[in-house]
A and B are shown apart, each in its own frame.
Chain A
């Protein structure tokens, strides 16, 4: 019996000679990443484990991004702990102003290669599957053990094969593809499973769009989401990394738990209505909803591709008077690239707030909190009740075209009508 891609990666990073879904194995990490929320608790816990030094400083990366820049004394303390601990342990540290949102930084800076295993103290570590890696999101105690020993325990997940067939239309992006998957399998449809994205529609996606697809795998409850590496992956990694890798895919006789097929030819842009990423409708069904805040950013859709899409809509136009628009490039490098291309000026001229890279309002941390009764359209991945501020606010999730169009119209609208 053959193995799925996820099984092959876990086999290569464990002592097991064979494995099947449900088996529990210890998995070796190529990279361990933590941030200003999961990190400080993990550092303390590592010490409680009786371990003073990390297993391998060259494989540990700290990226402050959640409460960045610090909004109060309590969050400033977190930043201080992170910085001091990084110096003490001699691990890699992306200080504020040097990195950006953790998952985007890891991808853009060559930390992630196909077949590698990355343990991250954040649920959206699944984003790294865009490059064919097994990225897994863990809590602080797990992270502490990874820092100490470079390993975590893992129940081998089954694999759900997600096939994207056909060709997607204008104004349809990776975000819509994954929302379609969540709509089909449900917010717990991927529990104990990995989503493997295949088919012509998957191969045609740019790496930036694959990031959005893999990123929201966890919103279906999945262990992670993964794209088999291909020529696009190789081209993206060229010049970014000197880590060795080989392109693996699932064996032809691998056993999948189930298969899901998404037909792209007929897929419209989608919207997840408040308060669940699984509350998905076609854009047309949400048209006309008043929008008080547009948020373009986050680890799924703060890429240069997203910023270009938004700028194409906003160029020469104004944000609607009843709406405020916040643009948050995911990393410092993306921010600078957007500056060089003139995108930031397009946003500023249109009346957008252009922010430094940060998680900020995405999780209600700061930098764009919603008041009761307000609605936001965000390119983020979670619209849980109270996620971006007041529990009486509503968050709609959509792609960058749709978000920028809503900024201009002050309500949800088809981007074709604005452009």
Chain B
């Protein structure tokens, strides 16, 4: 899988899902409406940087805390194609994979990127390019890679349920 976009950067470590998408907005069920409170408790101005295809660059233990899928749902709906970071909290990581949004562990690229950097990701080759400079990413396990390639858990399940052949 090859994808790319412009970098939007969140450098802090241990960014929790409460600041990414605060509790009062969890009663929203419509994915398009979820875009509006994204990053509300962290830095609402970041939302304005989400134009066109973007790659979110993050620090250590990103997405810690709650299982709220509103966070990756809102990210995906806002044009974030992939998240590249130093490390990820487990439920956030699996939620992204399930939604078909690659999460790539690549500390070097996360360090090198700055806002607006041009990012290219090749999930098969396991590389991340930051403005043309190439970094080795931690390989995505085969199962998760298959899940991503099929478009996420919904598509994967549709095959299983026989909804698609």
Contact = CB atoms under 8 A, between A and B. Distances in A.
A141 interface: yes
A50 B87 CA distance: 34
B158 A140 contact: no
A192 B161 contact: no
B141 A155 contact: yes
24 contacts: A24-B141, A41-B73, A45-B154, A48-B154, A50-B157, A50-B158, A81-B29, A123-B66, A123-B67, A141-B99, A141-B153, A141-B154, A148-B157, A149-B160, A187-B61, A188-B14, A192-B90, A223-B90, A363-B18, A364-B24, A382-B16, A385-B41, A386-B19, A386-B22
Contact of B163 (A50, A153, A364): A50
A97 interface: no
Interface in B90-108: 90-91, 94-95, 98-99
A77 B26 CA distance: 12
B77 to A, nearest CB: 13
Interface in A379-419: 382, 384-387, 391
A14 interface: no
Contact of B94 (A45, A77, A78, A139): A139
B29 A40 contact: yes
B26 to A, nearest CB: 5
A153 B157 CA distance: 12
Nearest to A190: B90
Contacts of B72: 139
A265 B165 CA distance: 62
Interface in B61-75: 61, 64-69, 72-73
A148 B95 CA distance: 17
B95 A139 contact: yes
B164 interface: yes
B27 interface: yes
A351 interface: no
A78 B29 CA distance: 8
A41 B91 contact: no
Interface centre among B67, B142, B160, B161 (most CB of A within 10 A): B67
Nearest to B16: A384
B157 A145 contact: yes
Contact of B143 (A37, A140, A144, A153): A153
A191 interface: yes
A28 interface: no
Given A67-B27, A221-B89, A142 B94 contact: yes
Contact of A139 (B98, B144, B158): B98
Query: Closest 5 CB pairs between A and B?
Result: A50-B163, A139-B69, A364-B23, A49-B157, A24-B143
Given A24-B141, A153-B143, A192-B90, A276 B14 contact: yes
Nearest to B141: A24
Interface string B41-76: 100000000000000000011001111110011000
Nearest to A120: B67
Interface string B1-44: 00000000000001010110011101111000000000001000
A51 interface: yes
Interface centre among A49, A137, A148 (most CB of B within 10 A): A49
Interface string A1-34: 0000000000000000000001010000000000
Contact of B60 (A38, A188, A391): A188
B69 A49 contact: no
A24 B69 CA distance: 21
B69 A140 contact: yes
A143 B102 CA distance: 20
B67 A138 contact: yes
Interface centre among A22, A221, A276 (most CB of B within 10 A): A221
A170 interface: no
B62 to A, nearest CB: 10
Contacts of A141: 69, 95, 98-99, 152-154
B69 A41 contact: yes
Contacts of B132: none
Given A141-B153, A382-B65, 6 more contacts: A50-B157, A81-B29, A122-B66, A139-B68, A144-B153, A187-B61
Contact of A384 (B18, B26, B157, B158): B18
Given A188-B14, A221-B64, A77 B29 contact: yes
A102 B41 CA distance: 26
A297 interface: no
A139 B22 CA distance: 16
B163 A49 contact: yes
Contacts of A77: 27, 29
Contact of A363 (B66, B152, B154, B160): B66
Contacts of A148: 157, 161
A77 to B, nearest CB: 7
Contacts of A386: 18-19, 22, 41
Contacts of A137: 67, 91
B92 to A, nearest CB: 8
